[in-house]
Amino acid sequence: MLKRPGLKGRFILIVSVVYLAIGLLTLLAFYMAVEGVVRTFGADFAIKQVLLEKTKLLSVIQREAALALKLVDSPVIKKWMLDEDNLVARRDAFAELESFRQHFADRSCFVAVWGSHRYYNIPADGKMVVVTLREDAPSDVWYFKTMEQVESYALNLDFDVHVKATKVWVNAIVKNEGRKIGVGGSGIDITGFVNEIVSSGEDGVSTILIDRDGAIMGHKNKEYLEHNARVWNTGKRKITIYDQMAEKEDRAALAKILASLAGGTREVETSFFRIGGKRYLMAGAFLKEIGWYNIVLLDISKIISIRDFMPILGIIVFSLLSLIVIITLLLNRIVLTPLVDLTASSREIARGNYDVILPVARNDELGMVSESFNHMVRTVRDYTENLEHRVNERTEDLLKANRQLEESNRLIMDSIRYAQMIQSSVLPKDDVLRAWMPGFFAVYRPRDVVGGDFYYFREHGDSFLIAVADCTGHGVPGAFMTMIAHAVLNHITDALCPDDPATILKELNRIFKATLQQDAGRMGMDNGLDIGICYCKPAGNEVVFAGAKMSLFCAVEGELREIKGDRQPIGYSNSDAGFGYANSVLPAAGATFYLATDGLMDQSGGDRGLAFGNERFRNMIIAAASRPLEEQKELFEETLREYQGSRPQRDDITFLGFRI
604-617 residue pLDDT tens: 999 999 999 999 99
Which of these, 483, 589, 594, 493, lies nearest to 541 by C-alpha position? 589
What does pLDDT average to over the chain? Answer: 83
Distance between CA atoms of 246 and 16, rounded to whole angstroms?
48
| Close Cβ partners of 592 (under 8 Å, ≥ 6 residues apart) | 439, 554, 555, 556, 625, 629, 657, 658, 659
Q: Is 121 exposed, middle or buried (0-12, 13-18, 19+ CB in 10 A)?
A: buried
Of 250, 251, 244, 241, which Cα lies nearest the Cα of 292? Answer: 241
Percent of the chain having pLDDT more than 70? 79
pLDDT at 529 exceeding the cut of 80: yes
Q: What distance in Å separates the CA atoms of residue 493 and residue 50, rounded to the nearest whole number?
A: 107
Least confident range of 212-221, 229-238, 414-423, 537-546 = 229-238
Task: Give the C-alpha separation, 303 to 192, whole Å.
Answer: 26
What integer is the mean pLDDT of 392-419?
Answer: 82
Report residue 244's pLDDT band, with 50, 70 and 90 as the boundaries. confident
Q: Is the pLDDT of residue 273 over 90?
A: no
- The predicted model gives 454-461 an average pLDDT of 95
First-to-final CA distance of the chain: 79
CA atoms within 13 A of residue 70's CA, in its CB half-sphere: 13
Give the Cα separation of 255 and 605 in Å (integer).
72
Q: What is the model's pLDDT at position 650? A: 93
Four-residue CA torsion sign, 88, 93, 98, 100:
positive
Q: 67 and 61 in contact (C-beta within 8 Å)? A: no
In tens, the pLDDT along 68-99 reads 999 999 999 999 999 998 999 999 999 999 99
Q: How confident is the model at residue 207 (pLDDT cuts 50, 70, 90)?
A: confident
State the pLDDT confidence band at 200, using cuts at 50, 70 and 90. Answer: low
Looking at residue 1, its pLDDT comes to 47
Q: Give the three-state DSSP class for 407.
A: helix
Q: What pLDDT band is residue 191 in, cutting at 50, 70 and 90? A: low
Angle (CA) 578 581 582, round 5°: 150
Element (H, E) at 468: strand 463-471
CA distance 29 to 22: 10
Walk me through the domains of the chain, giving residue ranges and CATH numbers. 1-304 (3.30.450.20), 309-385 (no CATH), 427-659 (3.60.40.10)
Distance CA 165, CA 186 (A): 12
Q: What is the DSSP pairing of strand 653-659 with strand 165-176? A: unpaired
The region of weakest confidence among 218-232, 397-411, 633-647 is: 218-232
- The span from the CA of 71 to the CA of 299, in Å, is 42
Torsion of CA 575, 580, 585, 591, to 10 degrees: 10
Whole-model pTM: value is 0.44
User: Which backbone phi and psi does 233 adopt, to 5 degrees?
Assistant: 65, 15
Could you please report the per-residue DSSP string of 277-336? TEEEEEEEEEETTTTEEEEEEE-HHHH--GGGGHHHHHHHHHHHHHHHHHHHHHHIIIII
Beta bridge partners of 530: 470
